[in-house]
Amino acid sequence: PYKCNKRLVISLNPLPHSGSTTNNEASCNICNRKLTEPDLYRYCSISCKVKAVLSKLDDSVPPFISIQTPPPPPPLPPSQEKQEETPEPQKLRERKRKGIPHRAPFF
């Protein structure tokens, strides 16, 4: 992450390297890019984090990215099913909203 216009920005792909890192500076775990806030972040971009997650082969650690489908809704009682099947007809307007346009009177 880096700051642009006083806002924190997280890039999708790693940005070009901005110089070499020294031993005492924190860097991204994947591409070794310098991190502006090493106390908060370990990766410089989302793609570096995805690479790190995919490279882990240990299944004992829960995955960072999980896709779960929501459970199906419980079946409705027969009385509620009939009510949902017959929607109320939409009420049409009795008259138009706007009539014939009239010019302003001349003084």
Classify residue 44 by burial, with Cβ atoms within 10 Å: 0-12, 13-18, 19+.
buried
Query: What's the pTM?
Result: 0.47
CA 102 to chain centre: 49
Q: Which three-class secondary structure state does DSSP give residue 85?
A: helix
Q: Could you tell me if 52 and 29 are in contact, meaning their C-beta atoms sit under 8 angstroms apart?
A: yes
For 49-82, write each residue's pLDDT tens digit: 888 888 875 555 555 555 566 677 777 776 655 5
pLDDT tens, residue by residue, 14-62: 887 766 666 667 888 888 888 878 888 888 899 998 888 888 755 555 5
